[in-house]
Every structure is written in C-alpha cells, then in structure tokens.
Chains A and B, each alone.
Chain A
Amino acid sequence: NAGVTQTPKFRVLKTGQSMTLLCAQDMNHEYMYWYRQDPGMGLRLIHYSVGEGTTAKGEVPDGYNVSRLKKQNFLLGLESAAPSQTSVYFCASRPAGGATGELFFGEGSRLTVL
C-alpha cells in the first residue's frame, strides 16, 4: 500500500529555474495539502485542495502554484526558484469530513536552491 508518494525526493535548482513536485495518493482522499518545513518553524501550509479542480492558499503561498487536475494528484510548482525556497516539502492527504481526520504524509522532498 503506497499511501502518499512524493517525487522527486531530492532536487537542486539554480536561482530562477522552475520545477514541479508531484504528490500522488492512492487512498481516494478528497483533501490534499502541501507544507514546507524549515528548522524551528514546524510545518507551514503552502496551498491545499478540498477536491479535484479546486485549490486554495495557505499560510505561505507566495512563489508557489498548485494544480489538482486529478483527484489522486496534487502538483506544487515553483516558477522562478529563490534561495528562500530551500526547504523540505511535505504533501499530505486526508478523507473529507470533520476536523478529526488523520493526515497521511509523504516522506518529503528536499529542495535546495543555489
């Protein structure tokens, strides 16, 4: 059972380059999330989606775009990478419903922007 899969796991970019992180979940979850994690700052929500074709901004959306064309996939794009976007990115999903639903996380994608 794969759960939540993120690709790639590691990437190094130069400032100004673009890239896309892919998140795929096989649990038929409605809700999907992208977080970034930096030392001492926990997990900060970038964007989220409550269903196919819908996306919304989280706490730190600037510099990122997302798309949810298929229910099982949630893409995070960086159009022009900056060193401040060096971070570990986590995707998560959960079923629709109340606020007590468990979040299932991927293993993370470590991005370095030089």
Chain B
Amino acid sequence: TQLLEQSPQFLSIQEGENLTVYCNSSSVFSSLQWYRQEPGEGPVLLVTVVTGGEVKKLKRLTFQFGDARKDSSLHITAAQPGDTGLYLCAPRRQNDYKLSFGAGTTVTVRA
C-alpha cells in the first residue's frame, strides 16, 4: 500500500492571496492527476502530469511534478472565491487499475 500524504488538510485565505498545496509519497509514479471537487458535486480533472520535473499551467493554477516522480504541488496565484473546493491528488501507476486518491486539501477563499 502506497503512503500518500496531502498537505495541508485545510487552507483558508483571503481573495488575492497565493497558496500552495502538496502531494507527497514514498513511491514513484508513472503520472499524477489533480482533481477539484466543489460542494455537492463529483471531482473534475484539472491536469495530468507525466514527466519528472514537468510544469503545467492552467490560467492561475501551476502544477509541478517532482523530478523523482514521487511528489507534486499545486500553486494558485491571486486566488478567487471560485477556487474554493477540495483538491485531490491521484497518483497513477502504469497498468494499475486500482485508482486511488489522497485525502485532499480543502481550500476556502474568502471574498
């Protein structure tokens, strides 16, 4: 069983501030996905990172996959209330049908 940790568990910030959430593991992964879940809805895929050291940007969101493919971070610049939600990381192994998720980071952006 892989050890997967997301931190922090909760994060509350003011609109306009920046934030970073982390996803760490002791295992190496072939890829990693980030999902966002809004209250009352199912998670929705934000991004998939595949290559060690890869950086992907999605508007104000920047995702990075660690060089060793054991960890990842999500940075939000100038957060807005619409960024409020539960951010879940989902590491992936090739040919692994059991798709698991981290416990998530609950982000609240106050107007």
Mark A residues whose CB is within 8 Å of B. Answer: 4, 31, 33, 35, 40-45, 48, 50, 56, 58-59, 90, 92, 94, 98-100, 102-103, 105-108
Contact = CB atoms under 8 A, between A and B. Distances in A.
Interface of B: 6, 9, 30-31, 33, 35, 40-45, 48, 50, 88, 90, 92-104
B94 A103 contact: no
Question: 8 shortest A-B CB distances, which residue pairs?
Answer: A105-B42, A99-B92, A42-B103, A43-B101, A102-B45, A42-B104, A42-B101, A100-B31
Contacts of A43: 43, 88, 100-101
A45 B98 contact: yes
16 contacts: A33-B99, A40-B9, A42-B88, A43-B100, A44-B101, A50-B97, A92-B99, A94-B99, A99-B92, A99-B94, A100-B31, A103-B43, A103-B99, A105-B42, A107-B40, A108-B42
Contacts of A108: 40-42
Given A90-B42, A105-B42, A99 B96 contact: yes
User: B-side binding surface: helix, strand, loop or mixed?
Assistant: loop
A4 to B, nearest CB: 8
A31 B104 CA distance: 23
B40 A41 contact: no
Nearest to B102: A42
Contact of B43 (A50, A98, A105): A105
Given A40-B103, A105-B43, A106-B42, A99 B9 contact: no
Given A42-B104, A100-B92, A56 B43 contact: no
A93 B6 CA distance: 24
A48 B98 contact: yes
Nearest to B4: A42
